[in-house]
Amino acid sequence: MSISQTITDFVTVAIQAGGWMELDRLYLQNRVLAMIGEESLESISPTIVTKTSLELLDELVVQAIKNGKVKAEPEELAIFKAQIMDFLTPPPSVVNALFAQHYEKDPADATDYFHKLTQENDSIKTRTSAKKSVFPVETEYGQLEITINLSRSDKSPHQLASADQDSHVGYPKCVFCMENEGYKGRTNYPAKTNHRIIRMNLNGESWGFQYSSHPDYNEQSIIFSEEHRPMVISKETFRRLMKIVEVLPHYFVGFNEDVPIVGETTLTHDHYQAGRHAFPLEKAEIEQYFELSDFPLMNAGTVKWPMSVIRLQSPNSEDLVEAATLIFEKWRNYFDKTGSIQAFSKEEASQHSIAAIARRKGQLFELDLVLRDNKVSDDYQEGIFPLYKEIQQNLSLAEVMGLVSLPSYLNDELQEVEKYVLEQENQMTDCHKSWADQLKEMYSFDEKNIKEIIQKAVGENVVHALTDASVYKRIPEGQAAFKRFIDSL
């Protein structure tokens, strides 16, 4: 295909996206010509486009590199690609107007439109996000979902804390701020020229809705405050959570803890996480029902899950708000000497928080509250409860719900473990040796069963990790302590 055909097809796709009209064709063609360094364009009549927007982008980038308009360096290419794809992305006002038109038909129709747009304009990195190893693991708590996302950026708890401390420097203040929409990008900061945000009114406040660039699950998205302010859990936090599942009833919505260490999140910008995915936690059943005297019509119970989870169900969303606030405030200040539960540290800051996940179940609103504690000790300076002790990684909200995305480096390391247990030449790291030796004692490995056994063993480690993160362990003493907290409500 000639470059003239590529440009013509690209402009056709841009017009079809809704931000331009056929009258704008010459203008767009000349803008793209200038970007890739071509001097002229053959006259080609628009036809049905057979290539995807990403395939056309690749051809334009190749020509731009050839013409010396951009260097083949990752950061420079990312900025250039975002600028090219901005041509086929309608302006924010148009995107929001089209979203509203679709929403009048059905909320799912609106998110389908926006999700498709952000995939086609390369805002969602579909090609890198597809680079993942995915395998389900059967456990006593149901089927967990394990992925190794090769496009994921892996950060330690200290790196996350440092990012929070540094996020107030520069412009935009952080990656969740509204100012990212259309931002060119720079070294060590993502290009956002083609980035779009849906505006939402949540109980009188302005919020934004966007999709994650490197999703771990279907339609992974962020809903964030227009104001750059820290995340602090309060009654209004739960009320907004309920409002969001009213606005987007086909999505789950949740938030991670508002204290450092225990969760993998950004605390400097108030936000929620959302998406269109049924997590293993959602499928887990209530194990023990209990009553909340102030809410006689509410279903309440503890969930059969490795972590400590309370589930609330009611057709009245405001009742859930009030009940969740009661539980949270009780947990925030809870002390149980017998169960070694202590809310406050020496610095008089509460060590207790929760993760919360809301969803719709027909006419019912459902809310899961996961008790968390960021207590540290001399042996566990990065937290007693949150760590994957085997791989030193904290729990994101998705991982709390049973979709565990492991660090990308494990993909290569597990291949070396496979070679080791098969007694082949390998470069396995020392940190896996004890685990691999245990597996060799337990199983007889061959080329046919190696993958299945290693994946099962990884799944068992994930269950151990979730159990480690549980405040109340699933042993008689732990469950008795959990009941004492429930009784205190």
- Render each residue's pLDDT in the chain as its tens digit; 489 residues: 799 999 999 999 999 999 999 999 999 999 999 999 999 999 888 999 999 999 999 999 999 999 999 999 999 999 999 999 999 999 999 999 999 999 999 999 999 999 999 999 999 999 877 777 788 889 999 999 998 867 655 544 444 444 444 444 489 999 999 999 999 999 889 999 999 999 999 999 999 999 999 898 999 999 999 999 998 999 999 999 999 999 999 999 999 876 554 444 578 899 999 999 999 999 999 999 999 999 988 999 999 999 999 999 999 999 999 999 999 999 998 888 775 675 555 555 567 889 999 999 999 999 999 998 876 444 444 433 334 444 445 678 999 999 988 877 888 889 999 999 999 999 999 989 999 999 999 999 999 999 999 999 988 888 888 888 889 999 999 999 999 999 999
Q: Does residue 20 share a domain with residue 156?
A: no
- What confidence score (pLDDT) does residue 247 get? 97
Q: Does residue 348 share a domain with residue 244?
A: yes
248 in any annotated domain:
yes
165 in any annotated domain:
yes
- What confidence score (pLDDT) does residue 408 get? 79
- What confidence score (pLDDT) does residue 346 get? 52
- What confidence score (pLDDT) does residue 396 get? 85
Domain that holds residue 247: 131-170+227-405+471-488
Q: Does residue 21 share a domain with residue 150?
A: no
369 in any annotated domain:
yes
Report how many domains make up the chain. Answer: 2
463 in any annotated domain:
no
Domain boundary among 56, 88, 120: 88
pTM for this entry: 0.89
- What confidence score (pLDDT) does residue 95 get? 98
Q: Does residue 349 share a domain with residue 280?
A: yes
414 in any annotated domain:
no
38 in any annotated domain:
yes
252 in any annotated domain:
yes
Q: Does residue 135 share a domain with residue 83?
A: no
- What confidence score (pLDDT) does residue 165 get? 47
Q: Does residue 156 share a domain with residue 82?
A: no
What six digits make up the tokens of 236? 């209004």
Q: Does residue 41 share a domain with residue 140?
A: no
Q: Does residue 161 share a domain with residue 60?
A: no
Q: Does residue 267 share a domain with residue 355?
A: yes
Q: Does residue 152 share a domain with residue 73?
A: no
271 in any annotated domain:
yes
Q: Does residue 255 share a domain with residue 368?
A: yes
Q: Does residue 42 share a domain with residue 144?
A: no
Domain boundary among 88, 108, 139: 88
List CB contacts of 90: < 8 A, sequence separation 6 or more: 17, 18, 19, 20, 98, 117, 196
Domain boundary among 88, 104, 121: 88
